[in-house]
């Protein structure tokens, strides 16, 4: 197990390096931060721009800048934002918890909806209930997530004035972003739960469980669901990564002060240090979650543990 974890960690570090290298290089192709900073200026000369570039340190060769970023990473010094010189570490410290909390609630909403729905659909396979659930999940898959967000805001904030339309201000403000994200995830999760459940229900041990007279409830939730867990956990783990990506859009619509908003503003301002660090932290998160999924496997399934 230890060797396995070390190997995966090394892979993770390598993947992070590749991701940050690509992002750092790509953002530098899209424009000059000195120009962005002086956009509102009346009379800016080349000499002024050169002076600002030097102050920002972007006049040096790309690899020098990149290695400095890596060095900072090792010492947990992410540098300073080009916008106002705020410490990047501080910005991430403020934004990361907000994003994680939102991701957590979104996953929870999705699990709470998709497991009962998926099981119901599987049990009533090809009946009316199943068809309705499948149509709804298809609809859920098809519409864009920001559209759902805007509709929720229109109904719950503007028409009924029940929930704050944006920001992270009190527990009520968590509802719409997590529900939006949660519903988007639910669409695929319902289908996944339904399919794995169907496979499991055909297994012989289910027949045995039923034959020995267990209640249907016990059969479903004790025997069948536990055996569905492995594909579900794998999928949810991978989904968490995708979730962190999708959250950028949702965060922007709900003005959620998280990593997505941070990255979005950083792209707009060509704020290299903030963007590099945000992407690095997000990719590390995704890699770590995948690692965690592998480890949890062993805990859930004794067969893997003994191998």
Binding site for another protein (CB under 8 A): 30-32, 34-35, 37-45, 48, 51-52, 55, 81, 83-86, 90-91, 94-95, 97-98, 101, 150, 153-154, 157-158, 161, 164-171, 252-255, 257, 261-262, 264-265, 268-269
Please give the Cα distance from 255 to 137 (Å, whole number): 27
Of 34 and 184, the one with the shorter C-beta distance to another protein is 34
Distances (CA, A) of 129 to 126, 191, 295: 8, 14, 36
Of 240 and 254, the one with the shorter C-beta distance to another protein is 254
Of 209 and 250, the one with the shorter C-beta distance to another protein is 250
Nearest to 242 by CA among 164, 306, 181: 181
Of 135 and 162, the one with the shorter C-beta distance to another protein is 162
In whole angstroms, the minimum distance from the beta carbon of 256 to another protein comes to: 10
In whole angstroms, the minimum distance from the beta carbon of 271 to another protein comes to: 9
Q: With beta carbons less than 8 A apart as the criterion, state whether 201 and 224 touch.
A: yes
In whole angstroms, the minimum distance from the beta carbon of 160 to another protein comes to: 10
Of 104 and 221, the one with the shorter C-beta distance to another protein is 104
Beta bridge mates, 80 = 87
Q: With beta carbons less than 8 A apart as the criterion, state whether 274 and 69 touch.
A: no
- Token code pair at residue 43: 């009379």
Q: With beta carbons less than 8 A apart as the criterion, state whether 97 and 172 touch.
A: no
In whole angstroms, the minimum distance from the beta carbon of 175 to another protein comes to: 13
In whole angstroms, the minimum distance from the beta carbon of 272 to another protein comes to: 14
Q: What is the DSSP letter of 254?
A: T
């Amino acid at each position: 197990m230890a060797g396995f974890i070390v190997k995966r960690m090394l892979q993770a570090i390598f993947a992070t390096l590749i991701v940050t290298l690509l992002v750092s290089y790509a953002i530098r192709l899209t424009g000059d931060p000195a120009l962005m900073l002086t956009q509102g200026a009346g009379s800016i000369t080349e000499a002024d721009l050169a002076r600002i570039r030097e102050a920002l340190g972007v006049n040096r060769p790309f690899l020098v800048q990149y290695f400095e970023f890596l060095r900072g990473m090792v010492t947990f010094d992410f540098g300073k934002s080009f916008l106002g010189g705020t410490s990047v570490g501080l910005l991430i410290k403020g934004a990361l918890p907000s994003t994680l909390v939102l991701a957590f609630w979104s996953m929870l909403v999705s699990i709470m909806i998709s497991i009962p729905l998926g099981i119901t659909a599987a049990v009533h396979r090809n009946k009316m209930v199943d068809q309705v659930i499948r149509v709804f999940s298809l609809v859920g898959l098809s519409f864009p997530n920001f559209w759902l967000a805007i509709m929720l805001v229109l109904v719950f904030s503007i028409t009924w004035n029940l929930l704050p339309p944006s920001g992270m201000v009190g527990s009520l403000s968590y509802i719409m972003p997590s529900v939006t994200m949660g519903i988007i995830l639910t669409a695929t999760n319902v289908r996944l739960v339904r399919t794995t459940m169907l496979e499991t229900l055909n297994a012989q041990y289910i027949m045995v469980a039923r034959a020995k007279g267990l209640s249907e409830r016990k059969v479903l939730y004790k025997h069948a669901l536990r055996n569905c867990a492995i594909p579900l956990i794998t999928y949810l783990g991978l989904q968490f990564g995708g979730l962190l990506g999708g959250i950028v859009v949702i965060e922007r619509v709900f003005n959620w002060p998280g990593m997505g908003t941070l990255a979005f503003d950083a792209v707009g301002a060509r704020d290299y240090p903030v963007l590099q660090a945000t992407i690095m932290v997000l990719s590390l998160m995704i890699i770590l979650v995948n690692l965690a999924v592998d480890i949890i496997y062993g805990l859930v399934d004794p067969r893997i543990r003994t191998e």
